[in-house]
Structure 1
Amino acid sequence: MDIYVDEIKYEEKALKCHAEQEIKGMTAASRMIVDSDNMSFIYLLDDGEEFQRVHFVKETWSMLNDFKDTQIVLNDEVILTDFWEEMDFLLDNIVDNNNYGKEFESAVREQFGL
């Protein structure tokens, strides 16, 4: 299942993310991947049977950049553990790496000041 973050607010020293999709019973998998074709960072949730993909599309990147290293909570239910460690790993790998595509790399460089 693809879960799309459609709103992010900074509240109570955390980034509170909202998605329309139900996430009851899911747990943080502490892993991230990217969908460079659709300009999305993806955090993985585990529903006990398979991974569910939480998309942070390009429109959400500015909030992520502005509140780097802040705890991220999805739908007030799941803390996205190791989010920043995974994000930093991906950002380091994206810079100067044509495997992600020039458009994605350029957008990441611009948004995250790399």
Structure 2
Amino acid sequence: MRIYVNEIKVKDDGIYCYTDKSTEGLKEAGQMLVDSDNYGFAYILDDGQSYSYLIFVKETWSMLHENKGKTIYINDDLKLEEFDQELDYILSNIKGNSNYGKDFVAEVEEAFELE
């Protein structure tokens, strides 16, 4: 299942993300994938039987970058402990890597100031 982050509120204690579908019963799997065709990052969530993809579209990237280091909460109840580490890892792989597609890499490098 693809779950899209469609609203973000930044507070002193974290980044609060709200989605188009329920995340009840899901836990983070601690892995992030890239959807370079649709300009998104997909953070994997697990319910014990199957995986869901929490999608951060391009419009959310600047808020993630500007508030780096803050804890991320999904729908007020799911705290993402490994998100920052996974995002850092995927960004280090994307920087200058044309395997992700030239346009996608350029957008990521600009949004996250990787140049």
Task: Tell me what 1:11 maps to.
Answer: 11
Displacement, 1:69? 0.9
Matched, 1:113 2:108: no
Task: Tell me what 2:37 maps to.
Answer: 37
Superposition CA RMSD, Å: 0.8
DSSP 3-state at the match of 2:62: helix
Measured in 2, the distance between the counterparts of 1:40 and 1:103 equals: 13
Matched, 1:53 2:53: yes
DSSP 3-state at the match of 2:24: coil
Matched, 1:95 2:95: yes
Measured in 1, the distance between the counterparts of 2:13 and 2:82 equals: 17
Q: What are the superposed Cα offsets for residues 36-59 of structure 1, whole Å, 9 maximum, x if unpaired?
A: 000001111001111100000000
Amino acid aligned to 2:107: A
Structure 2 unaligned segments of length 5 or more: list them.
none
Normalising by the residue count of structure 1, what TM-score does the alignment of the two structures yield?
A: 0.96
Identity across aligned pairs (percent)?
Answer: 46
Measured in 2, the distance between the counterparts of 1:80 and 1:35 equals: 20
Equivalenced residues, count: 114
Task: Tell me what 1:24 maps to.
Answer: 24
Amino acid aligned to 1:18: Y
Normalising by the residue count of structure 2, what TM-score does the alignment of the two structures yield?
A: 0.96
The equivalences for 1:74-89 within 5 A come to 74-89=74-89
Task: Tell me what 1:69 maps to.
Answer: 69
Runs of 4 or more above 3 Å deviation:
none
Displacement, 1:12? 4.2
Q: What are the superposed Cα offsets for residues 46-105 of structure 1, whole Å, 9 maximum, x if unpaired?
A: 011111000000000010011001100000111112101100001110011111000110
Structure 1 unaligned segments of length 5 or more: list them.
none
Amino acid aligned to 2:30: S
